[in-house]
Amino acid sequence: MSFDLGVWAIPQSISDAQAMRIYEELCEENAASVRDDPGVQRFAQALLEQFPALEDLADEQIEASPWSVSPWVTGSHVIISTVWSRSSEVTQFVLGLTGQYGLVCFDPQNAVVVYHPSTPA
């Protein structure tokens, strides 16, 4: 079992229900509701610098990784799956980055958009 997050760019505020619909579409490989954004790529680069993808790790490093599977990165969104024991650590890092790059972070476990504390909701 993993703890998942979705991250994407959207030009306006978004409700939890709208975010759930978009997240479900993204998981079905339908990105029509989101747009490519350079902030998504910068976010993904910073995320993977902090927590490298599983395929970039040596076998002996994989056990220490927070990933259940490597993040799914596109030009418009990132889908993140962490192990539960590292979910808080990764979520805090993700929120810092989404605040920095002006991106939406969606927590599908609780069906809520999650904002960095300095980001107006």
Tokens representing 10 are 């959207």
Residue 40 pLDDT grade (very low, low, confident, very high; cuts 50, 70, 90): very high
Please give the Cα distance from 10 to 76 (Å, whole number): 9
* pLDDT of 11: 74
Q: Which fold has domain 2-114?
A: TATA-Binding Protein (3.30.310)
- What pTM value is reported for the model? 0.92
Residue ranges covered by each domain of the chain: 2-114
pLDDT tens string 56-89: 999 999 999 999 999 999 999 999 999 999 999 9
Tokens representing 32 are 């029509």
Residue identified by tokens 């972070």 is 105
Tokens representing 24 are 């479900």
| DSSP codes, 71-111 | EEE-SSEEEEEEEGGGHHHHHHHHHHHHHHHT-EEEETTTT
Asked if residue 120 has pLDDT above 80, the reply is no
Residue 117 pLDDT grade (very low, low, confident, very high; cuts 50, 70, 90): low
